[in-house]
Each structure stands twice: as structure tokens, then as C-alpha cells.
Amino acid sequence: MSKAILYDATQCIGCLQCEEACAKQNSLPYDDAVRNEKKTSDHKYTYVAVKNDDQYMRKLCMHCNDPACVSVCPVGALEKTKNGPVTYDADKCMGCRYCMVACPFGVPKYEWTKAIPRVRKCIMCSERVAQGNQTACAEACPTGATIFGDREAMLAEARKRIGGNPAAYINHIYGEQEVGGTSTLIISKVPVGEFGYPTNYSAEALPPLTGRVLEHVPDVVSVGMALLGGIYWITNRRDAVAAIEKKKEEEQ
């Protein structure tokens, strides 16, 4: 059964233990400088955003049920596992970075400064999950703001929390429907859009949409190649004619 992370922003106290646990799990640096970085990057897979000193929001990979990043990867370096995580295999990656363009949440990051760069992102502690354990961030959270379990159970828990205290929440589970559903779910009193999460996506998964566009690519490529071939022929033909005319002038 597919797993999911549920993040409840109303329970978050901004302790950043999720950030530190993530860094430790993925062998990433975590010092004062990294702690103060309020963005995801090739060395920071999750962070806690803050507004008005008392409103918190985690940012991390949404692990879409039907990920656009997986659908555009030409070498299968990205994979949606049956357990929920979207994983990455650096040995397969050829560095095309299509995943960075395709991701509706802007999650994948590239190691621009490395000699042998990789794409980097949260992989939802896939090895831990495969062994039946919870994610490092959920294990480290002291308040229950981040919990982990079966996706249906996480949805039920989100509904329970909202229904039990409706004044404390917007009546919406972000990720339940967006882009076909995700394995990261968010509930909050503050609209997630205020923290940079896109809110204009429908419930339709993105790969079928990109597929309908990409199915026309062969035609476009064929026309483009024919056009470029014509331009090449015309240019070279013009140069050849000019050379012949110049030779005739020299012989006269």
C-alpha cells in the first residue's frame, strides 16, 4: 500500500528537527549556514518556512502519484515506487534536467558546481520505507506535525484533525487531489499558496497532459529537420554558385 507524509502546519513549532534529520539521513551538511537557508537546494531537501514569527510551512518533494518528472526522464533515472517515494538513480542519469522543467513544484535541483553533477531531491527515505520504517523527518518530529503511514490512513487523520477543530484549519487537504494526488499531504490554517505552493493545478495528473503535447513532437521535428535541411542546401548551393561565377570571371 502506498505511503504518505502528512504535514500539519498548525502543530509545527519551527524546531527544524525535520531539517536536521533529513540532512543526517542523506549525508548532507547541516550547520548554522545551512540552517538559515530558506530554500530547497542540491544540499537541502526540505526546509521550514516562517511567516509572522508563528506560522510555519514545510517545503519538500510532493512525491506525486503520477509524477511528471518520471514521465519525462528518457533514461528511467527517476521512478515512482509502489511504496510512495519518487526515487532517483544517479547511475542512470544523463544530466538532461528535463525533470527540473517538468516538476510542477520546482523540486529537483542540479549540482551545478560539481565535476560530476547529479540531480538532487527528497526521496522520502525510500530505503527506510522499504524496510517498513517511517521517514527520518517523521521520526524526529516532536509534536506530530509530520507523521508518516499509509496514504489512506494519513488522509483519514487529516480529515479527523480538520473535523475535530474546523476553526484551526482551512477545509482542504493539499495533495489529496492536486495533479492527480501526491504522497505528501498538507493541512494548515494559512493558505499554502502564501508559502509558494502552486494552487492553480487541477486534479488531473500532468503526464497525460504532457503526453498529448509530446505526441506531436515527431511531426514538429520532421518539419524542423526538413526546414533546416532546406536552409543548409540553399546556403551551400548559393556558395557553390558564387564560387563557379568567380572562377569564370578569373578565366575571362
Measured CA to CA, the distance from residue 16 to residue 188 in angstroms comes to 18
Residue with cell 537546494: 41
> 94-102 long-range contacts, Cβ below 8 Å, gap at least 24?
95/119, 98/69, 98/72, 98/73, 98/74, 99/69, 99/70, 99/72, 99/73, 101/72, 102/68, 102/69, 102/71, 102/72, 102/206, 102/210
pLDDT number for residue 218: 56
Residue 221 has what pLDDT? 46
pTM comes to 0.82
How much is the pLDDT for 203?
82
Nearest partner of 90 among 73, 107, 104, 106, judged by Cα: 73
Q: What pLDDT is stored for residue 236 in this prediction?
A: 53
Q: What fold is seen in the domain 3-205?
A: Alpha-Beta Plaits (3.30.70)
Give the domain ranges of the chain.
3-205, 216-251
Integer Cα distance of 175 and 45 in angstroms? 18
Closest of 6, 5, 9 to residue 192, by C-alpha: 9
Q: Which of 178, 177, 51 shows the shortest CA–CA distance to 105?
A: 178
Q: How many helices (H) and strands (E) does the chain have?
A: 9, 9
Per-residue pLDDT of the chain (252 residues; tens, 9 = 90+): 799 999 999 999 999 999 999 999 999 999 999 999 999 999 999 999 999 989 999 999 999 999 999 999 999 999 999 999 999 999 999 999 999 999 999 999 999 999 999 999 999 999 999 999 999 999 999 999 999 999 999 999 999 999 999 999 999 999 999 999 999 999 999 999 999 999 998 888 877 655 544 455 555 444 444 455 554 444 454 555 455 555 545 555
Phi, psi of 214 (to 5 degrees): -65, -25
What is the C-alpha to C-alpha distance for residues 148 and 6, in angstroms, rounded to an integer?
A: 6
